[in-house]
Chains A and B, each alone.
Chain A
Amino acid sequence: MIRVQREDFDVGVELERLAAGNHRIGGVASFVGLVRDMGGGERVSALTLEHYPGMTEKKLGEIETEAHRRWPLDAVLIIHRYGRLEPGDRIVLVATASPHREAALAACHFLIDWLKTDAPFWKSEETPAGERWVEARDDDEAAKERWSD
């Protein structure tokens, strides 16, 4: 399931709901991305996430389908926020549920790596020197390449 939203989410509630009623599931893995207070050596007081409505949901849906193709998963959840966020705020939740831990952990790692390079989101940071757009990182691309088959 994919959700793109401005509002915060409750990690505990979401993880519980993911596995509720399905007793085949033996493990739930999750990744929560948070806003850091430093970026490029400067203090960040807030960031604003912009996205491409329509394409965002499409790309996240494709990533979810690819994870299901690669691993035996009972459930996948991706929640990604947009709008203005402050240090410590949650940005993203990726959670996977499977009968066994290997598939859940690997798929969760795969999903966040792919999301970073494929989902059309952009971050702008507020720093003492002014507002600036975050630049894409080469190591994010390298992290995705790990999963190429």
Chain B
Amino acid sequence: MKLLYFAWLRARIGCAEEEIAPSPEVCDVAGLLDWLRSRGPRYAEALRDLSVVRVAVNQNYVGLEHPVREGDEIAIFPPVTGG
């Protein structure tokens, strides 16, 4: 699956976009975030406080229980501040 990061999450994680193949037991957003946090201190720190993390799967806002699958485009970013 393809991961995209925006704003300070991109800056803290240190990349804008990556292709990942998480372990097979990762089946929803919560599981994916847990798996990402285990990848290193940058991820663990950036994804520590989920109250300031939003997730979109295939360009739709979703909750932690939303399923994730091979081929999904998953974006992780802070609450939006446009307008």
Knowing A50-B7, A120-B6, A133-B8, the reply to whether A92 touches B82 (Cβ < 8 A) is: yes
Give complex CA distance A50, B82 in Å.
9
Q: Find out whether the CB atom of B82 lies under 8 angstroms from the CB atom of A80.
A: yes
Interface string of A61-93 (1 = CB under 8 A from B): 000000000000000000010000000000110
What's the tally of chain A residues with a CB closer than 8 Å to chain B? 28
B79 at the interface (CB under 8 A from A): yes
Closest to B54 in A: A120
Q: Which residues of B contact A59 (CB under 8 A)?
A: 59
Residues of B within 8 A of A115 (CB): 82-83
A125 → B minimal CB distance (Å): 10
Partner of B7, one of A55, A118, A122: A122
Is A28 interfacial (CB 8 A cutoff)? no
User: Does B56 reach chain A (CB closer than 8 Å)?
Assistant: yes
Q: A115-B83, A121-B82, A133-B81 are in contact. List 14 more A-B contacts (CB 8 A).
A: A49-B82, A52-B4, A52-B75, A55-B59, A91-B82, A116-B82, A119-B82, A120-B6, A120-B77, A120-B80, A122-B78, A133-B8, A134-B81, A136-B78
> Which 6 A-B residue pairings sit nearest by Cβ, starting from the closest?
A121-B82, A136-B79, A122-B7, A55-B59, A116-B83, A134-B81
